[in-house]
């Protein structure tokens, strides 16, 4: 957040860092984009041309992709909150468990975006994941589904991560990458299970894979449409400010 604020101060000749934060906060609310997502985009996306009226003058916009298999309210296909809720419900239905979470890739780490059935210790501990000692991190690094049949004995976890999972009542985890067409991981959805699991059927694994690909494609659309729209709004707002 601080890096985005300082960048805005320099780019738009703002008087102080607080002014950069207020610009981010205002545009985040107007465009219904998470504040941390917008701040990350400000830092990651190449700057607009100097004195340019538009940040992305040649950008083409598209309707959100279809999401077969997800239960969405009419008119909610463009809402990130609705899509994350629906993908978590879909994966937990396939896995037949009431516990799970969704993470989105934010820079170099996974950020917890939605969860159900997991306690506050778990959600606070795994608010951000940037190490390699979890099933979700392994699945992201290998770009494939990862099943941990028994958390208590699996070597992938460090002891702090193992404890955080076990104390929440989870003995097994299955992580499904959310990937776009190029194969890059944009997020992760994980199911948690009260008892150890031996694995999943071929039909279940195929359903997980389809869901991950569909939602990954949607997340790519969201970034290239909704998030970039927010950056365009931010640029227009900042360039209208009096010197």
pLDDT digits (tens, 9 = 90+) for 77-132: 989 999 999 999 999 999 999 999 999 988 778 999 999 999 999 999 999 998 77
Q: Half-sphere exposure (CA, 13 Å, Cβ side) for 83? A: 25
Per-residue confidence band for 241, with pLDDT thresholds at 50, 70 and 90: low
pLDDT of residue 182: 79
Which CATH number, 3.30.450.40, 3.30.230.10, 3.40.50.970, 3.40.140.10, labels domain 80-219?
3.30.450.40
pTM: 0.91
Q: Are 98 and 85 spatial neighbours (Cβ–Cβ below 8 Å)? A: no
In the predicted model, what is the mean pLDDT of the chain?
93
What residue spans in the chain does CATH classification 3.30.450.40 cover? Answer: 80-219
Helix (H, G, I), strand (E, B) or coil at 165: helix
Q: Which residue has the higher pLDDT, 1 or 11?
A: 11
Helix (H/G/I), strand (E/B), else coil: 67: coil
**How far apart (Å, rounded) are the C-alpha atoms in residues 193 and 98?**
8
């Amino acid at each position: 957040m601080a890096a985005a604020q300082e960048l805005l101060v320099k780019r738009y000749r703002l008087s102080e860092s607080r002014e950069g934060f207020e610009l981010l906060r205002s545009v985040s609310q107007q465009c219904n984009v998470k504040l941390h997502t917008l701040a990350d985009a400000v830092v990651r996306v190449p700057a607009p041309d100097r004195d340019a009226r538009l940040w992305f003058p040649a950008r083409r916009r598209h309707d959100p992709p279809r999401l077969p298999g997800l239960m969405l309210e009419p008119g909610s296909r463009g809402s990130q909150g609705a899509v994350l809720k629906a993908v978590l419900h879909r994966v937990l239905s396939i896995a037949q468990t009431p516990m799970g979470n969704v993470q989105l890739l934010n820079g170099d780490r996974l950020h917890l975006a939605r969860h159900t059935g997991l306690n506050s210790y778990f959600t606070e501990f795994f608010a951000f994941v940037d190490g390699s000692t979890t099933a979700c991190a392994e699945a992201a690094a290998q770009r494939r589904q990862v099943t941990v049949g028994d958390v208590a004995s699996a070597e992938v976890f460090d002891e702090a991560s193992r404890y955080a999972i076990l104390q929440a009542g989870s003995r097994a985890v299955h992580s499904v990458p959310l990937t776009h067409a190029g194969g890059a991981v944009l997020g992760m959805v994980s199911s948690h299970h009260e008892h150890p699991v031996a694995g999943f059927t071929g039909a279940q694994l195929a359903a997980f894979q389809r869901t991950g690909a569909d939602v990954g494609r949607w997340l790519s659309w969201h970034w290239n449409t909704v998030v970039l729209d927010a950056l365009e709004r931010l640029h227009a707002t900042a360039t209208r400010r009096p010197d």
